[in-house]
A and B are shown apart, each in its own frame.
Chain A
Amino acid sequence: MDLIVTTLRFIADSAIDVLPIAVFLFAFQRLVIGEPLANGKRIAVGFVFVVIGLGLFLEGLEGTLFPLGRLMAQQLTDPAFLYDVAGKAVADLVWQDYYWVYLFALAIGFSTTLAEPALIAVSMKANTVSGGAIGFWGLRVAVAIGVGIGVSLGCYRIITGLPLHYFVAAGYFVVILQTLVAPKIIVPLAYDSGGVTTSTVTVPLITALGLGLSEAVPGRSALLDGFGLVAFASLFPIISVLAYGQLAVLRKRVSDFEPDTRHPEKEY
């Protein structure tokens, strides 16, 4: 009974969340375009699915992804576990002793990104558009490595408590430098990959991981240190994809020893 009530409440809440966009679209359709919608029934059914789906998803999040992220953070920073792997008491730990945290972050970032459908679609398109110069697997692996390193480095930041904006500012500085020298064809793709990678399932999990870490590591606070993993996960793929483009150019140059005349901007 309780379960049904909670579910209904989640669905009611999500109806309110979906309402604005539904109203806006209908208003524009009627007032600006001036034509009634074709397939009105189909669209109404679609909106019902959206509302129910959103409600169920958010209810499920509270039961799985959030507790999972926190549970992993707790176990990875458990004093007994850390004593096993590092042989030190909590007070003597340095950031290197948390290496299982970094490994876990790397694995989560890498694997969720590799399976991301949006990225698979983008990679296929990039492969066709570039005439094979951008490899299907190459791009996917580049983005996945970027996200993995990003989440991992984000955990390092949470554990050490260094200010977030130093990393972000430095990261964007690197992106700007790379943009100047990377082949032009890869640039829009690289910027896109930042937004594409963080899926609806991954975001809650790594957020919970970050918050759990910041609560468990001595001297950190959830409020000041807990957020920021998503920002890292969106920034680092840009760098890794640009690097992948630069690497491809370099390899090509080494292999055929002649300047590529089709893309003169590569010759910076």
Chain B
Amino acid sequence: MRNSLIALGKDALGSLRDLLPIALVISVFQIFVFRDSTAVLFSMLGGAFLVVAGLTFFIFGLRLALFPVGEGLAYSLAKKGSLFWLVAFAFVLGFGTTIAEPALIAIAAEAAQVAAGADAIESTDEARRGYALGLRLTVALAVGVALVIGVMRILADWSLPVMIITGYCLVVLLTTIAPPEIVGVAYDSGGVTTSTVTVPLVTALGVGLASSLRGRNPLTDGFGLIAFASLTPILFVLAYGTVQQWI
């Protein structure tokens, strides 16, 4: 119990540290550049408290439940050596963690708001929810596929730079035919996916896999998975926008 409280306290300090530079920079601008009162900042203290508390509980819970279970599974599946289950697990892991990724939930909601504001979709709650969910499912699917490709690459020892460069060439090609309003969201979704939930679990999968195979470097192969997970969401969201345009 005492240990858990200490861990919780540490996570709280970590969340505070995340927020601190933002608070500092914005306060400096408010006081010295705009010479405004900081009253508006104080009105946001309640929200800031929620952000810190939420992030603290979230990360504390991840460490307690999701990370040990996910890592244990990743290692034992890598050891087990069944290709089918390994690939299935990679997909499910990418999909499931991405659906629970807080930054993506926030961005998808914002993108839906913007699309509704510009009359690209209907301005109802239902349409916005549908749009945001569609976006998140697309990105989750993309990360699942990315991990499948990444696992196969580690097993077959394909060249990472060649695949990544091909991928980005595809991105540029798809950009030219995709509707312009999806491009920004698509490019951003690449950076959003690889954050709090996904990275530790994906790294565990990559490292477990690479260390159970002879002659592989755990560091380079673990990183390869994340590189794919930042690439495929761009492709998939661009494709999603293109297909939606045709329908």
Binding site for B on A (CB under 8 A): 17-18, 20-21, 24-25, 28-29, 32-33, 37, 39, 42-68, 71-72, 75, 81, 100, 104, 107-108, 111-112, 114-118, 129, 163-165, 168-169, 172, 176, 179, 188, 191-192, 194-196, 198-205, 207-208, 211, 221-231, 233-234
Q: Given A81-B34, A230-B187, output 12 extra A-B contacts at Cβ < 8 Å.
A: A43-B68, A53-B60, A53-B61, A65-B22, A164-B183, A194-B230, A198-B194, A207-B188, A224-B184, A227-B187, A228-B188, A231-B191
Q: State whether A200 and B191 are in contact (beta carbons under 8 Å apart), knowing that A46-B63, A59-B54 are contacts in the complex.
A: no
Within the complex, the shortest CB–CB distance from B76 to chain A, in Å, comes to: 6
Residue in B50, B61, B195 whose beta carbon sits within 8 Å of that of A198 in the complex: B195
- Residues on B with C-beta less than 8 A from A17 are 99-100, 105
Q: Is B235 an interface residue (CB 8 A)?
A: no
Within the complex, the shortest CB–CB distance from A10 to chain B, in Å, comes to: 9
- Residues on B with C-beta less than 8 A from A195 are 191, 194-195, 199, 226-227, 229-230
Whether B61 pairs with A164 at a CB distance below 8 angstroms is no
- Residues on B with C-beta less than 8 A from A43 are 64-65, 68-69
CA distance A162 to B61 in the complex (A): 43
Whether B55 pairs with A111 at a CB distance below 8 angstroms is no
Within the complex, the shortest CB–CB distance from A91 to chain B, in Å, comes to: 23
- Encoded as 1 (CB less than 8 Å from any A CB) or 0, chain B from 71 to 83 comes to 0010011001000
Q: Is B158 an interface residue (CB 8 A)?
A: no
- Residues on A with C-beta less than 8 A from B56 are 53
Q: State whether A168 and B110 are in contact (beta carbons under 8 Å apart), knowing that A25-B69, A50-B61, A53-B56 are contacts in the complex.
A: no
- Residues on A with C-beta less than 8 A from B147 are none
CA distance A97 to B222 in the complex (A): 44
How many A-B contacts are there with CB distance less than 8 Å? 291
Whether B65 pairs with A47 at a CB distance below 8 angstroms is yes
- Residues on A with C-beta less than 8 A from B52 are 60
Whether B184 pairs with A226 at a CB distance below 8 angstroms is yes
Closest residue of chain A to B69, judged by CB?
A: A25
Whether A57 pairs with B199 at a CB distance below 8 angstroms is no
Interface hits, B27-53 → A, CB 8 Å: 28-29, 33-34, 36, 40, 44, 46-53
Closest residue of chain A to B115, judged by CB?
A: A223
Q: Is B172 an interface residue (CB 8 A)?
A: yes
Closest residue of chain A to B230, judged by CB?
A: A195
- Residues on A with C-beta less than 8 A from B66 are 21, 25, 46-47, 50
Residue in A108, A118, A179, A223 whose beta carbon sits within 8 Å of that of B199 in the complex: A118
Closest residue of chain A to B189, judged by CB?
A: A230
- Residues on A with C-beta less than 8 A from B73 are 25, 28-29, 33
Whether A50 pairs with B69 at a CB distance below 8 angstroms is no
CA distance A42 to B194 in the complex (A): 26
CA distance A223 to B181 in the complex (A): 6
Interface hits, B177-213 → A, CB 8 Å: 180-181, 183-185, 187-188, 190-192, 194-197, 199
Within the complex, the shortest CB–CB distance from B191 to chain A, in Å, comes to: 4
Report, nearest first, the 9 A-B pairs whose CB atoms are least far apart: A46-B65, A63-B47, A227-B184, A49-B61, A57-B54, A60-B50, A53-B57, A46-B64, A53-B58
Whether B194 pairs with A50 at a CB distance below 8 angstroms is no
Within the complex, the shortest CB–CB distance from B217 to chain A, in Å, comes to: 9
Closest residue of chain A to B234, judged by CB?
A: A231
Within the complex, the shortest CB–CB distance from B46 to chain A, in Å, comes to: 6
Residue in A51, A116, A188, A223 whose beta carbon sits within 8 Å of that of B118 in the complex: A223
Whether B44 pairs with A67 at a CB distance below 8 angstroms is yes
Closest residue of chain A to B220, judged by CB?
A: A188
Whether A201 pairs with B172 at a CB distance below 8 angstroms is no
- Residues on A with C-beta less than 8 A from B192 are 198, 203, 230
Whether B102 pairs with A234 at a CB distance below 8 angstroms is no
